[in-house]
Structure 1
Amino acid sequence: LDVVRSTFGDPTVNSRQRTEAARLQQPQDPRPSGVLIDLARREVHLDGESLNLTFKEFELLNYLVENGTRTVGRDELLEGLWRNAEEVPNERTIDVHIRRLRSKLGRLANTVRTVRGQGYRFYEHPEVVVWAAPEYSI
């Protein structure tokens, strides 16, 4: 059809061809940048790559995200994350989990901030996207 139109001088043929050429030059799957925290699937992605967080690391990140920009103390984290544990670990356990979580977050490690003498806080960085679980109603 474009051959017939171009033969008779239809100007839309050239614009369609240019549009198609421009579309083909664009990357088909641009890699997202930043951190995506998918609470429903319990997944965290950094720059399109899945992070292998342990169960407790994800729980810790989730707890901080749910508390927004409020500072969460170590005691509260221990109570919230190990409430059903037979043996509750000491406060240094939280520090170790935070350190490991930050190392996995790489360049966006500063999204988990230390508030000296008080605890930790989630920083809503522009490159961090949180997808919450959908709410269902009956």
Structure 2
Amino acid sequence: MIEGFRAGCDDYIAKPFSVELLYQRIEAVLRRSENALDGVKCERFHYGDMSVDFERMQVYISDEPIKLSVTEYRILELLIKNKGRVLTRDMIIQKIWDDNENYVDENTLNVHIRRLRQKIEKDAGNPEYVITVFGIGYTFGET
């Protein structure tokens, strides 16, 4: 058991064990990790009226599914997973488009941000999710 914990395990069940005990321990782990946002393994994210199911790549506003393009979704996901940080325009362009070393200018990013806001914001002119940090780039949520 000690070697297991030293190797990184979170729990241990000695044999023989009941199926109910196993079930309850699994439920406890799921409850603890339900809203964890560690930038990599989060399955569900909630902020205001928005929820994002990263596993299904689906965005909901007030429990209504919102249809986003792949690029719009990737921008939103990048901003959410970096919540609390300001991402420069260049950083976003590199993460979203530079995988294939394609050149994309800032106007392309502006168009995608505008379309994304039209789909997810109550008032695209006064956004609460995708926030512009003037002269720098964008952030998610409160500044």
Q: What range is the shorter-chain TM-score in? A: 0.5 to 0.7
Bigger relative contact order, structure 1 or 2, given CA contacts below 8 A and separation 6+? Answer: 1
Q: Number of aligned residue pairs: give it.
A: 93
| Displacement of 1:47 | 1.3
TM-score (norm 1): 0.62
Contact 1:113 1:123 in 2 (8 A): yes
Runs of 4+ in 1 over 6 A off after TM superposition: none
Q: Which residue of 2 aligns with 1:13?
A: none
Alignment of 1:4-83 (within 5 A): 34-83=49-98
Which structure has the larger Rg? 1
Q: Which residue of 2 aligns with 1:120?
A: 138
Q: Deviations over 1:17-61 (max 9, x none)?
A: xxxxxxxxxxxxxxxx81111111100011121100000000000
> In percent, how many aligned pairs have the same letter?
35
TM-score (norm 2): 0.60
Distance (Å, rounded) in 1 between the aligned partners of 2:100 and 2:106: 15
One-letter identity of the residue aligned with 1:97: H
Tell me the secondary structure at the aligned position of residue 94 of structure 1: helix
One-letter identity of the residue aligned with 1:51: I
Distance (Å, rounded) in 1 between the aligned partners of 2:83 and 2:101: 29
Contact 2:89 2:137 in 1 (8 A): yes
Q: Which residue of 2 aligns with 1:100?
A: 115
Distance (Å, rounded) in 2 between the aligned partners of 1:88 and 1:44: 28
Distance (Å, rounded) in 2 between the aligned partners of 1:58 and 1:113: 16
Contact 1:102 1:110 in 2 (8 A): no
Q: Which runs of 5+ in 2 are unaligned?
A: 1-47
Q: Which runs of 5+ in 1 are unaligned?
A: 1-32, 125-138
One-letter identity of the residue aligned with 2:137: G
Distance (Å, rounded) in 1 between the aligned partners of 2:49 and 2:139: 19
